[in-house]
Amino acid sequence: MKTFNLKRIVFLLLIALAIIFVCSLFKDQIKNGMQNSFSGVKSFFWNLTTRDSKSCNFNEASYDIKLSRLSLLEEENALLKEIIGISLHEDYVFEIAGVTQKNILEDVIAVNKGEKDGIKEGMPVLTSEKALVGKVFKTYPDYSEILLITSKKSVIDIKIISEGDYAIAKGEDNLKIALDSLEKKSLVKEGDVCITSSLGGHYEEGLLVGKISSITNLASEVFKTGSIEPFFNLNDLDKVLIIKNDK
């Protein structure tokens, strides 16, 4: 027991605390440097895991995207008939970014575009099929961190296309999303597609969120709950679009 007496333990802990304190002062610079130096290697490793052929889930997603667009176009048309002269369709300004890594123990991914490319915190991030991935959580000069919609910190107001009902999609980590606050009288069923609603004010309306995979209707609960399967698949995600001109 010569190595680990109380004095040595306290000494080791103090050294660890001192290093942590110094590192925390330069955390952002070190993170940016680490990411910038090994961006190429990280992209190489990441691309090894992304699939070349898109999955069946992806094809289903494409179909659902068309369906949601059609539904939105119908709504837009109806509104345009009422309000003449106001253009509802606004083209987005995108920044294409490559995914380099997924953070350990949290649903956060890093992309190779940062403050130097005009990326700001809060910008929505989509797949090339306009399925919502998340939003920019933190920016660094050379890279940004994206909080996935499956993260526990993510709460989104959603609209279910088939019934037009509103609910909340709460991230649960590990790439899962819970459906919450769905009215008891709602006739929503499994397989229905969810899009973002403008109610929350965080996202533009009409971005694809996911498909309802299960619904639970407990008598003890005030609302119906369930789970949503997100449209993006981390294994297919090599490039994302960051909307720069969102509200």
Partner 1 sequence: MISKILKIFLLIFFWFFILLLETSLLNSFNLMLLLVIIINLIEDPESNLGIVSAFLAGILIDFNTTTYEFGIFSLSFVIFSLSVKIILIKFLKIPYVSWLPKI
- Give residues in contact with partner 1 (CB under 8 A): 1-4, 9, 12-13, 16-17, 19-21, 23-24, 27, 30-31, 34, 38, 41-46, 48-49, 100-106, 108, 110, 137-138, 145, 147, 151-153, 174, 234
Of the two residues 100 and 225, which places its CB atom closer to partner 1 in the complex?
100
Cβ closest to partner 1, residue 212 vs residue 237 = 237
Asked if 167 contacts 199 with a C-beta cutoff of 8 angstroms, the reply is: no
Residue closer to partner 1, measured from CB, 146 or 228: 146
- Minimum CB–partner distance for residue 216 and partner 1 (Å): 25
Q: Hey, how many other C-beta atoms are within 10 angstroms of the C-beta on 22?
A: 9
Q: Give min distance, CB of 220 to partner 1, in A.
A: 31
Count of alpha carbons within 13 Å of 13, Cβ hemisphere only? 7
Q: Is 92 helix (H, G, I), strand (E, B) or coil?
A: coil
CB of 36 to partner 1, least distance (A): 13
Minimum CB distance to partner 1 smaller for 124 or for 226: 124
Closer CB to partner 1, 17 or 96, in the complex = 17
Q: Are 129 and 62 in contact (CB under 8 A)?
A: yes
Amino acid of residue 92? Y
Instruction: For residue 167, give every residue at least 6 positions away whose Cβ sits within 8 Å of its Cβ, in sequence order, or none.
Output: 157, 158, 159, 160, 179, 180, 181, 182, 186, 188, 194
Distance in Å, CB of 109 to partner 1, minimum = 9
First CA to last CA across the chain, in angstroms? 63
- Residue 102 or 170: the one with the smaller Cβ distance to partner 1 is 102
CB 208 within 8 A of CB 195: yes
Residues 196/156, Cβ–Cβ less than 8 Å: yes
Least Å distance between CB 1 and partner 1?
6
Shortest approach of partner 1 to residue 62 CB, angstroms?
24
